[in-house]
Chains A and B, each alone.
Chain A
Amino acid sequence: MPSGARNGRPPLTLVTENSSVHAGGEAELRPAMGSATATDDLDWSILMARAQGGDRDAYRRLLVAIAPYLRSLALRHHRNSSDVEDAVQDILLTLHAIRHTYDPTRPFTPWLATIARRRVVDRLRRQGRSTSREVALDAEHETFAAPDANLQEVAWYKRALRRAVEQLPAGQRQAVTLLKLREMSLKEAATASGQSVPALKISMHRALKNLRRILNSWSGET
């Protein structure tokens, strides 16, 4: 048969030695990182007892004091900082709704920790349900599998390439225009331009090197 055992997480009972706490101590000045000390617990217990009586100032101080503790509890399960804040607010709302169930003769932290754990677990379950049906779209997934979806970028590349071609020396520009843009063979291009085939080849080779240099210098600027 069970005794009155409490789920002591975080494990603590009542106050230890020489805790010089006045009613409504300065709990909010102490950072409560991840664990609450026995002094915290007594402070919080007193503040909560006064809040149950309608003391708004004590209640505000209590909520401010436990917020970092709740945040550290939520951080164990949530990575996303907005999730953590949501969880903290969820816990605070639940605490507000059932604050009459707290018995000031008992430690405060186990009471709070159960509420917090419950809310965090509920949130994780809800997230599990929704993420199993949804696909998150992250900012870096701008490029889509269908090429048509990337038209904007294609247009930008076209404009950049055209401007780069215009900056080439006349011979090289002609080689690019005939061989690549009009897609002529070397022989046709030689006839059309009056240059020899090896000269066209050299011009084309130099044009590609120049284009690469120009485009690189632009992408370096942006």
Chain B
Amino acid sequence: MIATPDLIESLAANAMPVRRLRPPFVRAGFWLLLAVVILVLFGVGHGVRANLMERLQEPTFAIGMAASLLTGVLAAVAAFMVSLPDRSRLWLLLPAPSLVAWLSTIGYGCLTNWVSLGPDGIRAGTALECFATLVLIGMPLSLAMLVMLRHAAPIRPMAVTMAGSLAVAAITATALALFHELDATVMILMWNLGTAILIVGLAGAVGRKAFSWVAPRSVALHV
């Protein structure tokens, strides 16, 4: 084992100038900007769903979409805040109200028109397309978040992973509502909740490993 004074000497000898992180709000803004760019590009390529304007007139749909979008924004802010060692973990509660609103609109929709799922409600084609959308939007956002928050790996990996993946999940769910005609309530439930659970669960399972991949914990020292 190296003696602590020797370690201090070698760390000091390795003290290259570092660029400070920008304030967390600004960095969350950058990430959300990336999300907007991806959504716009996807919208240009794929086109929004045909009946979007019509559906936006319905309060449940509009509120649900606004709530999922807001959840994405607030969860991103929370993730960037919590990733810093000197910010309170209470920031994790920031997306909670909108998350509750989002989930409750899904639940409300289910209660009101539960029966609307016809015999051919779920078609394989739609499901596959939805999955492609999910991957195309979710993956770049997840990777960007992972790289931007790699400094959190030795501090709060789980909390940051959860908040970050909630942000990705909420934005992806918003995109699904924008681009796909998912009017069967079971599908909405499946895609919204399923996406969220899938992404958060995946993050929980591989979060630590992914972090250790982008941010090795041990520091290379030229002793």
CB within 8 Å of B: which residues of A? Answer: 1-2, 4-7, 51-57, 59-60, 63-64, 67, 82, 85-86, 88-89, 92-94, 96-104, 106-107, 110-112, 114-115, 118-119
Q: Per a CB cutoff under 8 Å, which of A1, A52, A63, A118 touches B8?
A: A63
Measured in the bound complex, the distance between the Cα atoms of B21 and A93 in whole Å is: 19
With contact pairs A2-B93, A6-B87, A102-B20 given, residues A63 and B154 touching in the complex (Cβ less than 8 Å): no
* Docked-complex contact B11 and A52, CB < 8 angstroms: no
Which residues from A are CB-within-8-Å of B5?
64
Measured in the bound complex, the distance between the Cα atoms of B23 and A55 in whole Å is: 23
Which residues from B are CB-within-8-Å of A93?
7, 11, 218-219
Q: Does B104 contact A (CB under 8 A)?
A: no
Residue of chain B at shortest CB distance from A103: B20
Which residues from A are CB-within-8-Å of B219?
93, 96-97
| Prevailing SS type, chain B contact patch | loop
**B residues 36-93 with Cβ under 8 Å of A?**
83-91, 93
Measured in the bound complex, the distance between the Cα atoms of B155 and A93 in whole Å is: 12
Measured in the bound complex, the distance between the Cα atoms of B83 and A118 in whole Å is: 13
* Docked-complex contact B154 and A119, CB < 8 angstroms: yes
Residue of chain A at shortest CB distance from B6: A89
**B residues 1-51 with Cβ under 8 Å of A?**
1-2, 4-5, 7-9, 11-21, 23
With contact pairs A2-B88, A63-B12 given, residues A94 and B154 touching in the complex (Cβ less than 8 Å): yes
| Prevailing SS type, chain A contact patch | helix
Measured in the bound complex, the distance between the Cα atoms of B154 and A118 in whole Å is: 8
* Docked-complex contact A59 and B16, CB < 8 angstroms: no
* Docked-complex contact A114 and B4, CB < 8 angstroms: no
Residue of chain B at shortest CB distance from A112: B85
* Docked-complex contact A54 and B16, CB < 8 angstroms: yes
Q: Per a CB cutoff under 8 Å, which of B16, B17, B23, B156 touches A118?
A: B156
- Give the B interface residue count (CB, 8 A): 39
Which residues from B are CB-within-8-Å of A102?
20, 86
Which residues from B are CB-within-8-Å of A1?
93-94, 97
* Docked-complex contact B1 and A52, CB < 8 angstroms: no
With contact pairs A2-B91, A52-B18, A56-B15 given, residues A101 and B4 touching in the complex (Cβ less than 8 Å): no
* Docked-complex contact A101 and B8, CB < 8 angstroms: no
* Docked-complex contact B4 and A67, CB < 8 angstroms: yes
CB within 8 Å of A: which residues of B? Answer: 1-2, 4-5, 7-9, 11-21, 23, 83-91, 93-94, 97, 151, 154-156, 215, 217-219
Indicate the member of B85, B87, B94, B217 with the most A CB atoms within 10 Å. B85
With contact pairs A51-B15, A97-B219 given, residues A2 and B20 touching in the complex (Cβ less than 8 Å): no
With contact pairs A85-B1, A119-B154 given, residues A100 and B19 touching in the complex (Cβ less than 8 Å): yes
* Docked-complex contact B85 and A92, CB < 8 angstroms: no
* Docked-complex contact B151 and A101, CB < 8 angstroms: yes
* Docked-complex contact A67 and B84, CB < 8 angstroms: no
Given contacts A101-B151, A115-B155, 7 further A-B contacts (CB under 8 A): A52-B18, A89-B7, A93-B7, A96-B219, A97-B217, A103-B23, A106-B86
Measured in the bound complex, the distance between the Cα atoms of B84 and A106 in whole Å is: 12
Indicate the member of B19, B88, B156 with the most A CB atoms within 10 Å. B88
* Docked-complex contact B88 and A63, CB < 8 angstroms: no
Which residues from A are CB-within-8-Å of B15?
51, 54-56, 59, 96
Measured in the bound complex, the distance between the Cα atoms of B20 and A98 in whole Å is: 10
Q: Per a CB cutoff under 8 Å, which of B14, B94, B156 touches A2?
A: B94
* Docked-complex contact A98 and B7, CB < 8 angstroms: no
* Docked-complex contact B91 and A53, CB < 8 angstroms: no
Q: Per a CB cutoff under 8 Å, which of A82, A86, A98, A111 touches B154?
A: A98
- Min CB–CB distance B133 → chain A (angstroms): 31
Residue of chain A at shortest CB distance from B74: A1
